Amino acid sequence: MRPAVSLVLRRFGITASVLSALLAGSAFVHKVTLEIPFMKPGSTLPKRYTKKDKNISPPLVWSSLPNDVRELALILEDIDEPRVHWVVYAIPATLTGLREGLPSDEVIHAPAKLSGIIQGITDFKGEGAGYHGPDPQSDKRHQYRFTIYALNARLALPPGLDKTSLLTLIQSHIIGQGELVVTFRK
């Protein structure tokens, strides 16, 4: 692999093995629409969703799922300072979004429609499961990417997966994908 390509992949937290697995498992991936209802892509995430304020997860809605979707997964990462802020999986395909302020439990038990959703390991070791909002260490504007994955099977994945483990386990089941990029500055 060329050094420049390798550097870019590392910047986004993608190892060569994950990239190979992702490419091998997806001849065509359906485009899923992912939105924060009151925001345009590329706009600034309100402070309430950052560690500078309430640090609660924003509401997310998705649409245009493939017909045979059985489960969803979601990852939030800082593109500019590669850090994983949120790993969510075992999301029922019947949901059309996640409400604001999702509980920070590793496995969500209530309300019933969210029961069984798992929140995995982020790059914020020791801070528990759940959403970890933007908290850039520099004054530079950072980009944050939410990526949703539509899966063709219910995978019964265990709690405790990080981004790399999750992507490795779901790669051959991804039939749809979408992303939303927002920004935040210290």
**What local confidence, expressed as pLDDT, does residue 110 receive?**
86
**What local confidence, expressed as pLDDT, does residue 137 receive?**
80
Residues 90-120: tens digit of each pLDDT:
999 999 999 999 999 999 998 899 999 999 9
Mean pLDDT of 25-44: 88
**What local confidence, expressed as pLDDT, does residue 17 receive?**
45
Asked if residue 38 has pLDDT above 90, the reply is: yes
132 vs 67, 83, 98, 155, 163, CA distance in Å? 31, 10, 15, 25, 14
- Least Cα distance to 166 among 181, 179, 151 occurs for 151
Indicate the pTM of the whole model: 0.84
Please tell me the distance from the alpha carbon of residue 91 to that of residue 31, in angstroms, as a whole number: 18
User: Hey, what domains does the chain have and what are their CATH numbers?
Assistant: 3-184 (3.90.280.10)
Asked if residue 75 has pLDDT above 50, the reply is: yes
Residue 26 binned pLDDT confidence (cut-offs 50, 70, 90)? very low
7 Cβ contact list (under 8 Å, min separation 6): none
Tokens of 154: 């219910």
**What local confidence, expressed as pLDDT, does residue 107 receive?**
95
DSSP state of 88: E
